[in-house]
């Protein structure tokens, strides 16, 4: 009940996909779409629902694993901010 899979969410995923495609025009469209669905939605998915969501992604895009683009400098800043707030810098939390 707490997830929004409406038209605004679909439009947002397509906007992300368009940005990814413009940034990497030679990447196949199935990889662009899978990455945009995964990267756009993972921050919104609660930990308990993550296996279900990743299973759906796996069903939609079998045998397709597109690595995440990471900004290690940004991740270091996020980790420092998390620790400054006296929170735990778990990998999934930093990713979100």
Show pLDDT as tens, one digit a residue, over the chain (96 residues): 667 667 778 888 899 999 999 999 999 999 999 999 998 888 888 888 889 999 999 999 998 888 888 889 999 999 999 999 999 998 888 887
* pLDDT (0 to 100) of residue 45: 87
CB 42 within 8 A of CB 95: yes
Whether residues 13 and 56 share a domain: the answer is yes
User: CB–CB of 57/42 below 8 Å?
Assistant: no
Q: Residue 78's domain spans which residues?
A: 66-95
pLDDT score of 1: 63
Question: Domain total for the chain?
Answer: 2
pLDDT for the residue numbered 8:
76
Are 31 and 74 contained in the same domain?
Answer: no
Do 8 and 42 belong together in one domain?
yes
User: How many angstroms from the chain centroid is the CA of residue 74?
Assistant: 16
68/60 Cα distance (integer angstroms): 18
Same-domain check for residues 41 and 73: no
Residues 8 and 45 in one domain: yes
Asked whether residue 7 falls in the same domain as residue 54, the answer is: yes
């Amino acid at each position: 009940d707490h997830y929004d899979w409406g038209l605004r969410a679909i439009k947002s995923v397509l906007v992300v996909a368009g940005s990814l495609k413009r940034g990497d025009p030679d990447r196949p469209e199935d990889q662009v779409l899978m990455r945009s669905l995964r990267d756009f939605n993972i921050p919104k998915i609660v930990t308990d629902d993550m296996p279900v969501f990743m299973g759906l992604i796996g069903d939609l895009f079998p045998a397709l694993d597109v690595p995440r683009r990471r900004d290690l400098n940004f991740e270091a800043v996020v980790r420092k901010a998390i620790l400054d707030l006296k929170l735990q810098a778990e990998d999934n939390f930093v990713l979100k």
